[in-house]
Structure 1
Amino acid sequence: MPDVRKFPLSSSEIEDRFAKFLIALRKRLGKIDASEVTAEGAKEEELLHLSNALELPTKDHYKIDRRTKRLVAKQDARSGLAHLKSNDRKRLLTAERGVSLNGPDSVHGVDELASRLMEEMPWMQPVIKPIWQDARHHIERGGSGLWHRPLIVVGPPGIGKSHFARRLAELSQLPALKIDVGGGSAGFAISGVQRGWGTAGPGRPVETILSQGVGNPIVVVDEICKAGTCYSEAGFSTSIVTSLLGLLEPVSARSWECPYFNVNFDMSRICWIMTANNVSTIPLPLRSRCRVIEMGGVAKADLLKFVGQEAPKRGLEPMDAYVVAYLVGSYPEGHPALNLRVVTRYLDDLEALAQKPVLH
């Protein structure tokens, strides 16, 4: 995943190779008793550790150590990782060996995923359809895992935008990451902070890729409409929008430089879903890089169906589901309380009561 070059051997392996070569050389020159050395068909691992068994002179160990350090230094310089600490190098080299791309591996799998989402959340059809089309096209072109173009889902609070993203991640076996723009440091959470600052570290998308070993996580940027302008008065980029622009552009995302690691990552496989309540406050540069989908509220019938599906998953009794359905039905169509957030809170309360111990 990261664009780094690495030497295939660790420092301990290099030392073993030097020791093996030195032993073999001295054997050919007759400076080591052949009886002390294993047969020509000896196993590789036996030869690698002969230096301990034969107790090479201290001066030889010093020479091997010096040459190993020089070689490792050159290796680090060529790889572009010399500026990193040992732990950071290990994290990058682990990912460099490859990350997985999870999600449907066939067109049929994509169809099943879309069908499942439609069954559970039919009111989200305007969002499900473009994801289904993009994922299908991606697989047909030989791609792997789930992928869709960046989305901005605009709609009133409580229609299930964040819930939908979490459910998409669960069904696709993908890690889901939520970044709230309401926090002032959201831009740093996206791109990371370069070394030299007390809060230096990689952005959360990079952190998720490295920790989970998955190259196409679902990243939800909540309330992107609060991001404001993408430039400061002095003309410098200051907001989360600035951090997002390079990651949403397909060409630059394929070779995006992390300010913390100072190496390039392929971030083009990330599935971006941004949510907003008002499209007019979203900066134009961001809108131009995304597919904007505007939605209305949730119909009462859809909420009643959601209650019928969700209550059994939580282990609630039929009477509990009836109580929530009754509360939902008591509101007139279009009432502000008819939203997924309110209904989920009702279910949460009943689930908490069901789990509460009974006093005798």
Structure 2
Amino acid sequence: MTRIPFVEARFFEPLNTIEVTRRFEEHLRKLREAKLSPEEREKEDWQRAADTVTREDHARIRRRVNRLEQNRHRASGISHLNTDGRQQIEMLSGGVELRRIETETQADEIASALHTEMPWMAPATEHVWHAMRTQVRRGDPGFRLPPMLLVGPPGIGKSTWARRTSAALDVPLRTIDATVEQSSFAVGGVQRGWSSAHAGKPVATIIRHLVANPIVVLDEIEKATAAVSTRGERHSIADSLLPLLEPETSRRWECGFYQLRFDMRWIGWILTANSLDGVSEPLLSRLVTINLTELSTPALTAFARQEGRRRGLSETSIEIITEVIERFAGRKPALSLRSVIRMLERADRLENRPMLH
């Protein structure tokens, strides 16, 4: 397991003020005892100690210990944070875990499992597969999924595929709905001093799980609108994203909430869109765009059978669901993967509900 520093801050062991005070007193006592006359040295130990370290000395030593503690606190770089903020950052003192793919065989197995479950997402799975094998061949300390944009009609499973991918990679997942007005603040956070101040979801996810390379999904990026601050300033989601998508800038990304720099370069970004309309060119230039097509009826029925068996549904329930899918073939609007998953979930609830007697 690889651990890496995540935040630019210094962490010290807790200062044992009692022990430091004792050592200062002992040092002062030795200095003064060296200057004692033979007659003074013959006094009882307790009497000599009382004579050599006075009450005023004790007060000066306490003040010096307090200054030492304050200097360590300032040198840490987190003295400006409140108690909650310091506790959150102090969780990072041992670094964060960087998950990695150990062998090319492991990469092949992960890609094969994703493809078996959702074969219509093959172009996206192939992108992940190549990235995993590249990490192994280069000997990188951890896996970083190059930022990608999944473009395709709604309901084909773009978000579902992202969830399954994060599970297969054994990394945390955070989803941000880009259609929400404050989506740009959800990415970058809101600076301290504002009543709505908060950390961005990506950095908060890493701090919570102590894993440096989570998957962050931005759903329906083409519908994102710019947020407007109380000062009238516009903040688009692209403004927040661009520094995080470039490895060179994201490795020392400054968080406005914590007012500290974090190493965000290992995050795997998955953006989804129904079309490219509304996606800015600067954003597109930093993403691998993967075009996806509508789901076919055979693909939906195959998914229903596989997922139904994975959930432990009866063959009767699975056949009923596949029959519904086939009846909707050719209709508009087409049946989506989301609808099929809801049918599977309902069948699961019905089969597992308690029987009334």
Which TM-score applies when normalising by structure 2? 0.86
Counterpart contact for 2:92–2:207, Cα < 8 Å: yes
Q: Over the residues paired in the alignment, what is the CA RMSD in angstroms?
A: 2.8
The residue correspondences of 1:1-360 to structure 2 (distance < 5 A) are: 1-11=5-15, 13-23=16-26, 26=29, 29=33, 62-228=59-225, 238-333=235-330, 336-360=333-357
Contact 2:215 2:270 in 1 (8 A): yes
Q: In the TM superposition, what is the alpha-carbon distance from 1:27 to its structure 2 partner? A: 6.5
Separation in 1, partners of 2:125, 2:9 = 39
Aligned partner letter, 2:287: C
- Measured at CA, do residues 347 and 5 of structure 1 come closer, stay the same or move farther in structure 2, by a change above 3 Å? closer
8 Å contact kept, 1:127–1:153: yes
SS at match of 2:277: helix
CA deviation map 1:171-220 (0-9, x unaligned) = 22111000001211111111111111111121111111111100101000
Q: Which structure has the larger Rg over C-alpha atoms?
A: 2
Q: Give the Cα–Cα distance (whole angstroms) in 2 for the partners of residues 59 and 273 of structure 1.
A: 64
Count of residues in Structure 1 that have an aligned counterpart in Structure 2: 338
Q: Secondary structure at the match of 2:216?
A: strand
d(CA) in 1 for partners of 2:248, 2:296: 40
CA distance in 2, matches of 1:149, 1:8: 35
- C-alpha contact 2:101 2:135 (8 A) present in aligned 1: no
Cα pair distance change 1:153/1:231, threshold 3 Å: farther
Q: Structure 1 residue 69: deviation in Å?
A: 2.6
Q: CA deviation at 1:143?
A: 1.5
Gapped regions of structure 2 (runs ≥ 5) = 35-40, 47-52
Q: For residue 269 of structure 1, report the CA deviation from its aligned partner.
A: 0.2
Q: Which runs of no fewer than 5 residues in structure 1 stay unpaired? A: 36-55
Distance 1:14 1:337 in 2: 70
CA distance in 2, matches of 1:207, 1:33: 60
- Conservation of the 8 A alpha-carbon contact between 2:184 and 2:226: no
Equivalent residue for 1:44? Answer: none
The SS at the match of 1:201 is coil
Displacement of 1:331: 2.5
SS in 2 for 1:281: coil
Give the share of equivalent positions with the same residue, in percent. Answer: 37
CA distance in 1, matches of 2:6, 2:163: 26
- What is the TM-score with the length of structure 1 in the denominator? 0.85
* CA deviations over 1:284-314 (Å, ceiling 9, x no partner): 1111111111111112222122112111222
Q: What residue in structure 1 maps to residue 49 of structure 2?
A: none
User: Which amino acid is the alignment partner of residue 4 of structure 1?
Assistant: E
Closer, same or farther: CA 177–65 of 1 in aligned 2, 3 Å: farther
Distance 1:77 1:14 in 2: 17
Equivalent in the alignment of 1:52: none
CA distance in 2: counterparts of 1:9 and 1:151, whole angstroms? 41
Distance 1:183 1:27, change over 3 A: same
